[in-house]
A and B are shown apart, each in its own frame.
Chain A
Amino acid sequence: MSRFTIGIDLGTTNTALAFVDTEVSPDNPEEAMVATLPIDQVVSAGAVDQRPTLPSAVYIAGGQEVPEGALNLPWRSEGRVTIGQFARELGARVPTRYIHSSKSWLCHGGVDREAPILPPNSPEEDAKRSPAEVAAMILRHLAEAWDHNLAGGDPALALTAQEVTLCVPASFDAGARNLTVAAAERAGFKDLHLLEEPQAALYSWIEATGPRWRKETSPGDLVLVVDVGGGTTDFSLIAVSEEDGALALRRLAVGEHILLGGDNMDLAIAYGLSGQLEEERGVKLDAWQMSALVQQCRMAKEELLLNPERASYPISILGRGSAVIGGTIRTELPRAGLDGFLLEGFFPPCGPGDRPARPRRAGFREAGLPYAPDPGITRHLARFLSIHAEQVKETHPDRVAPDGGFALPTAVVFNGGVFKAEPLRRRILETLGEWGAQAGKEAPRMLGSIDLDLAVARGAAYLGLARRGRGIRIRGGSARSYYIGIESAAPAVPGVPPPIKAMCVVPHGMEEGTSVDIGGREIDLCIWTGEPAAFRFLSSTTRRQDKPGDLANVTAEEFEEHNPIETVLGEGEEEGEGRPAEVDLRAELTEIGVLRLACVERGTGKEYQLEFNVRHSGEE
C-alpha cells in the first residue's frame, strides 16, 4: 500500500492536490492530517513559485513569443508548454495558443474528445490538443511537482505510485469518467479511484469538523450539496441514517450536467458593463481591454459580495498605449448592478414549481460548449429537488412536500469559490426556507464551513484513508442507470425513425466492484461478426426502478442519449463472411469507478469490449 493517499481536484479553472501521509497520521482517521501541496508553476517569464492551486490553463508557445528559458521548470528545461499562472497571462495576450476550461469539453458528447480540437476556432494547428490530452498534461505537471518536492528520487514515493482519488463532477456520464481515467493512466497513474465532487465536499466537511461531525448530524438528515465550480453546477443529495448503531451516509441522487459556473458570472458582469459603455458613451473595448474588464469584474464581484456596506466598486480600464490617464475608461459597478447580474440573473428567487427554460431547438449549433440555456441556478435546483422527490420519499417521507412535489433537505453544504460570497449562500438558504415554509417544513441549516478552494482535493485525500477502513464512506453506487437502445419492430414509415426502446444494462445504485450479466431467452441480441456493431447508448438519473434487462420507452424527459457504443465481433474474420452471433451483455462497474460493457458470445463465451465512442456521432 502506498505511503500517501492523494486527492486531486482537476477543476475547470483550478487544480488542487491534497494528501495524507499515512505514516504520520494518528490511528484515529478523524484526526487525520490532510495537507495540500503548494504547486510549483511558472508565474512570470523565467520565475517559478509555489501557489496553493494550479490554474487549469495551458499555453503552447509558438517558439518566439517568450525569451528562451522563460518556461523552464525547476526539474527540467521546457521550451514550449507552460501550465498554470503564467499560461493564463500569456493566454490573455495570445488567445489562439491558450487552452482553458478543457474539462467542460471532456463531457461534451458532440465533439471528438480525443482529437486535437482545443483551443476551439484557433488557426494554430500546432497548438491544438485534445481535451483528454490536456487533462493528462495537467496531471503530469502535478506528478512532476510532487516528485520534485516530496519523492526525492524514490520511485516508491512518486505521485503516480500513490493511491490517488481523482474527482469528477457527479454529473459526468460514463464516457467522460472513462476518458478521465484514461487520461490519468496515460499520465502514468496506476492506483486510481474516481470520486464525485459533491461527495468530496462532504468528506472535506467531515475532515474539517473532526469527530464532532457525528454530533452535528443525526439520522434522518438529508444533506444537499450545492457545488458551483468555475464551469459546472453540481447538486447531490446525501442521506444520513443509522445502521448497526453507527451513522451511515448514502448518496441518493445527483443532478444533471449543468454547464454553468463562476466563469459565466464574471463574463455576464463584464458583458453587461461593456454593453452599457457602448450604449451610453459609444466606447468599444478591444479584446485586450475586455479581458482586463473581466479581471476587474471578478475583483468587483468578490469585493462587493464580501463587503455588504459598499455601494459600488470603481472600475477603470487603463488606456492601451502609454497614455494611462488620457486613455482610461472609467465606470463603476454599483451594488444594484451586481445584484441584477448575479442574484437576479444566476440566483433568482423562484418557487419550487419553477423549471429552467428548455433548450431552444435550433437547426444549427455553434461548435462551442453546450452551456446551460437557463442561468438560473435556483430554477435548476427546483427541478433537481422535484425530480428526486419520489426517491427521497422512500427513505425520508417527512422531507417531501405534502403534495409529493419536491424534496427538502435538512442541511446544506456549499462548495465552490463563488460561495465565498455570503449573499449567494443566503439566497440559496432563503429560497429553500421559503419552499420549506410552503410545505410546512423547517428551513435547512448550513453545515459548517470548508475551504472552498481546496475542499474537493482535501475530501478526496481523506477518502483515501476511509478506503483503508479508517473513516466513514459515503455509499451510493452508480448515480445513473444506463441503457442500450433497441429498435422496436414497427412498420417502417418514411421520414419517421423507428421508435427505440431502452434496455437497462446498469441499474441505478449498482455498486462499484460489481458486475451484472444480461442474457437468457428474454433478450435476443444478435449481431453480425466481422463488422462494427453499434448500439445507441442512453442514461437516466431519475429511473431507479429498472432492473437489468428491463425495457422502457424512451422519453426526452427521463433519458439522455450519449454517443453510441460499438464493438467488432469475431476479429480476424473476413468481411462478408460474417455470421450472426447470439450475444449476452455484461456490465461491470470497476473499483476505479469506470463502466465496462461487453458482449459475450453465447456459443464460445468470448467477450468483446463495447467501446464508448468519444467521436461525434454526427446525428445530434
Chain B
Amino acid sequence: MSSGADSAADAASLNPPEPLSVRLIGRGSAAGALVIAMVALAYAVVLPLVAEAVSAPAPPRVIDIGEGATVTVAETWSEGSPAAGETTLTQGGATLVLSEPEATERLPIETLDGLTSGWIETAPEGSVATAPRTFTTDAGDDAATVVLQEPLETVQAWVVSDGAHEVIAVLTAPPAAWEATSASAQVLVRSLTFAEAAP
C-alpha cells in the first residue's frame, strides 16, 4: 500500500526544492528590488518625515525648566518626554538635557572642571576635552562651556550660575549632527534666566 505516495516522497527527497538563488536566474528580481527600495525609502524619506511630524517644531517659546528658571527655545528644538528634575530637548539626532536650578556657591568654571574630570575618567580611549570657555548670558549671569570629543559622539556641557543657583546643560550629538546643533544650543543656553530672588 501507498507505494505511489512512497515514490512521490522518494522523488521529493531526491529532488529537493531549488534554492531561491537558482530560481532567480534569468528573472528581473522586481520583487526583490521592491523590498530593497522600500527599506531605502523608509529610512531616507519616511523616517525623517515621521520624525518631523512626531517632534513637530513649535514657534520660539519660553520653557520653564524648574524653580522659575526659563530658556527661550528656537522652533527647531522639540521637547522630549518629561522627566523629574530635567528638561530634554532634541534636534536632528542631538539631545540637550537641562537640569533644574540647584543651590551652589561654586563658580561655573569650578563645576565644569569637576564634570570634565569625571568624563575623562570614564570616557573611551582617545577622547579629548577642550579648555573651558567662559561667557555671560543675555541676563548677565556667569557661564562656562567645554566640549568633549569621544570617538563615537561629541558632548558639550554648559554651566550657568546666578551666584546662588546653577543650571547644567549637556548636549550629546553624533559628529555629523554636532556642528549644526551646537550653535543653536549655545543661543538657547545664553537665553537662560533665573527666577527673581524673593525680596
* B partners with A: no
- A residues contacting B by CB (< 8 A) are none
- B residues contacting A by CB (< 8 A) are none
